[in-house]
Amino acid sequence: MPKFIINGRRPLKGEINVSGSKNAALKIFPAAILTREKIRVLNTPEIEDISRAQEMLLALGHEVKKIKPGVVDIKFNAQKCVALPAELVNKFRASIMFVGPILATCGEVRFPHPGGCVIGAGTRPIDLFLDSFQKMGAKLEIKDGHYCLKAKKLKGVEIFFSKVSVTATESLIMTSCLAEGETVLKNSAMEPEISALADFLNSCGAKIEGAGTPTIKIKGVKKLSGGEYKIIPDRIETGTFAMLAAASNNGNILIKNCEPKHLEALWVLFDKIGVNVILSKDSVSIKPAKKLSACEVTTHEYPGFATDLQSAYTVLMTQAYGLSLIHETIYDRRLLFTDMLTQMGANIIMADPHRAIVNGPSKLHGRKLVSPDLRAGMALIIAALIAQGKTEIDNIYQIDRGYEKLEERLKKLGADIARQN
Ligand code: UD1
């Protein structure tokens, strides 16, 4: 299995570019099912999860063509099937995003429970999706370990999400674009990727209002046209690089091609802990701090502090003076990776599955580690880059799922990181 070998404590400085957002890009491939016309996608990140999404579209009967790096054309060819291939569904949770568009255009869909990062209790639930599709008139049957949904025509309804969910919000936006009448989604998630998706669908003829607020109204239309979709910069990557810069603390790092306004919760925290940040419209410059102060954080849906940034922040707090409480409210397995930071020399106590206390600063030491999931894997890379000695990180497929050519970009900053196949 490929691994990263990292020799820590190399001075890091210079510039690093941010890729297109994984979580925005993942939704354009299922959205393409809603139109028979061509969609051109720009700024597409070249990562494993996107390859899986492209394979899914190919399996369903679309053409997917890479025009040049970052530019992909998608066009309907012929409907091959309404069943999502199990081997792809097992590999990424965002496969659930294909269900609504297939149901809306073909009247039926069949799929097993989706895989992906194991960061929630047991398997991550899909009840919000299933309940909402049924509310719109679909009949659900569970047979031979597969969900089967059928609906001649989906109807617009009012849906109140019992939990704020990014993918459930996006899925129901897509599904109701072609439904009969108006759908109103309440208690919706407000992430920038949702607004980006709604803007794109509107440019193709959809009638969506309120994306980026808790109440979204979608008036069903007969059909959607094709169009061009430029993926927004990855805010999680931006925040993660900013925390790497703050933790490594030895040179100026300029993070380019990003949208700092999507990370206000992080910049407020940086102010409190003493990181020097200069924000422009599309870049972030981080200068070494004299001394980092500890500060607690609670993860929250957007615009709060993203759960996807929690693991990198926890690593940063191992370098800060004092006690910081890390309160993970979204997923109950997301703090388990802190055990590996403890093995590296960090002083962390797990209070319960949702809260850990970091007592810093600690000197970290290189270790042999296994990446448990995408974001924790990236956090371990940050820890390895600031640790004394050599770290080996195994199971890096989990990191390749979401970060494009990571070692190349980190090497440009001066990191000593190599991929071993
Ligand atoms: C999305 C992001 C992921 C991020 C997460 C939270 C994508 C592809 N992934 O994941 O990177 O960590 O938002 O910001 O965009 N839940 C249910 N039932 C459901 C669906 C979700 O109970 O049917 C729960 C989840 O277990 C979790 C919470 O709702 O506790 C939020 O999850 P959700 O926003 O759905 O996460 P994802 O959309 O899967």
Residue nearest to atom 13 of ligand 1 (CA): 166
Give helix then strand counts, H and E, for the chain: 14, 23
**Whole-number Å distance between alpha carbons of 332 and 405:** 30
Q: How confident is the model at residue 292, as a pLDDT?
A: 96
Q: How confident is the model at residue 119, as a pLDDT?
A: 47
386 burial level (CB within 10 Å; 0-12, 13-18, 19+):
buried
Alpha helices in 77-126 (DSSP H): 86-89, 99-106
Contact 181, 220 (CB under 8 A): yes
Whether 148 is catalytic: no
Q: How confident is the model at residue 415, as a pLDDT?
A: 97
Query: Which residue among 329, 330, 403 has the greatest number of ligand 1 atoms within 8 angstroms of its CB, and so is best to mutate?
Result: 330
For residues 209 and 333, membership in a common domain is answered with no
Kindly give the distance from the C-alpha atom of residue 55 to the centroid of ligand 1, in angstroms, as a whole number.
23
Given 81, 117, 204, 295, the catalytic residue: 117
Spell out where 290-332 has E strands.
Answer: 297-298, 322-327
Closest atom of ligand 1 to 191 CA is: 14
Kindly give the distance from the C-alpha atom of residue 189 to the centroid of ligand 1, in angstroms, as a whole number.
10
Kindly give the distance from the C-alpha atom of residue 318 to the centroid of ligand 1, in angstroms, as a whole number.
27
Kindly give the distance from the C-alpha atom of residue 167 to the centroid of ligand 1, in angstroms, as a whole number.
6
User: Where among 230, 249, 266 does a domain terminate?
Assistant: 230
Contact 242, 262 (CB under 8 A): no
The tokens for 392 are: 């080996």
For residues 223 and 372, membership in a common domain is answered with no
Sheet with 139-143, edge to edge strand ranges:
108-111, 146-150, 139-143
Q: Per-residue DSSP letters for 142-155?
A: EETTEEEEE-SS-B
**Whole-number Å distance between alpha carbons of 117 and 372:** 8
Q: How big is the CA angle at 179 (ends 96 and 172), to the nearest 5 degrees? A: 30
Closest atom of ligand 1 to 163 CA is: 29
User: Where among 200, 230, 260 does a domain terminate?
Assistant: 230
Kindly give the distance from the C-alpha atom of residue 330 to the centroid of ligand 1, in angstroms, as a whole number.
8
The tokens for 82 are: 């309404």
For residues 242 and 139, membership in a common domain is answered with no
Q: How confident is the model at residue 123, as a pLDDT?
A: 64
Kindly give the distance from the C-alpha atom of residue 203 to the centroid of ligand 1, in angstroms, as a whole number.
26
For residues 306 and 205, membership in a common domain is answered with no
Question: At residue 282, what are phi and psi to the nearest 5 degrees?
Answer: -135, 25
Residue nearest to atom 21 of ligand 1 (CA): 165
Reported pTM: 0.95
Closest atom of ligand 1 to 165 CA is: 34
For residues 219 and 334, membership in a common domain is answered with no
Q: How big is the CA angle at 189 (ends 186 and 193), to the nearest 5 degrees? A: 135
Question: In the block, which residue shows the tokens 């053409």?
Answer: 63
For residues 308 and 362, membership in a common domain is answered with yes
For residues 283 and 213, membership in a common domain is answered with no
Kindly give the distance from the C-alpha atom of residue 166 to the centroid of ligand 1, in angstroms, as a whole number.
6
For residues 67 and 144, membership in a common domain is answered with yes
**pLDDT tens, position by position, 337-365:** 999 999 999 999 999 999 999 999 999 99
Closest residue by Cα to residue 228 from 23, 46, 72 = 72
Closest atom of ligand 1 to 124 CA is: 26
Residue nearest to atom 19 of ligand 1 (CA): 126
Kindly give the distance from the C-alpha atom of residue 8 to the centroid of ligand 1, in angstroms, as a whole number.
33
User: Where among 195, 230, 265 does a domain terminate?
Assistant: 230
Q: How confident is the model at residue 288, as a pLDDT?
A: 85
For residues 362 and 289, membership in a common domain is answered with yes
Sheet with 3-7, edge to edge strand ranges:
368-370, 390-394, 3-7, 416-420
Residue nearest to atom 3 of ligand 1 (CA): 308
For residues 53 and 14, membership in a common domain is answered with no
Query: Which residue among 166, 300, 311, 331 has the greatest number of ligand 1 atoms within 8 angstroms of its CB, and so is best to mutate?
Result: 166
Residue nearest to atom 7 of ligand 1 (CA): 23
Q: How confident is the model at residue 184, as a pLDDT?
A: 98
- CA distance readout (Å), 92 to 99, 113, 339, 412: 13, 10, 25, 30
Lining ligand 1 with CB less than 6 A are 23, 26, 93-94, 120, 124-129, 163, 165-168, 189, 306-308, 330-331
How many structural domains does the chain have? 2
For residues 257 and 282, membership in a common domain is answered with yes
- The helix (H) or strand (E) run that includes residue 201 is helix 192-203
The tokens for 159 are: 């849906």
**Whole-number Å distance between alpha carbons of 391 and 418:** 11
For residues 223 and 239, membership in a common domain is answered with no
Query: Which residue among 165, 188, 299, 401 has the greatest number of ligand 1 atoms within 8 angstroms of its CB, and so is best to mutate?
Result: 165
**Whole-number Å distance between alpha carbons of 27 and 40:** 14
Domain of 295 in residue numbering reads as 3-19+233-420
Closest atom of ligand 1 to 26 CA is: 8
User: Taking the chain (421 residues) in consecutive chunks of 10 residues, what is each chunk's mean pLDDT?
Assistant: 95 97 96 97 96 94 96 91 90 91 96 67 81 98 92 97 97 98 98 98 98 98 97 98 93 95 98 96 94 97 98 98 97 94 98 97 97 95 98 94 95 97 88
Closest atom of ligand 1 to 97 CA is: 8
Output the domain CATH number for residue 303. Answer: 3.65.10.10
Q: How confident is the model at residue 92, as a pLDDT?
A: 83
Q: List, in order, residues 6 or more apart from 131 with CB less than 8 Å away.
A: none
Closest atom of ligand 1 to 128 CA is: 23
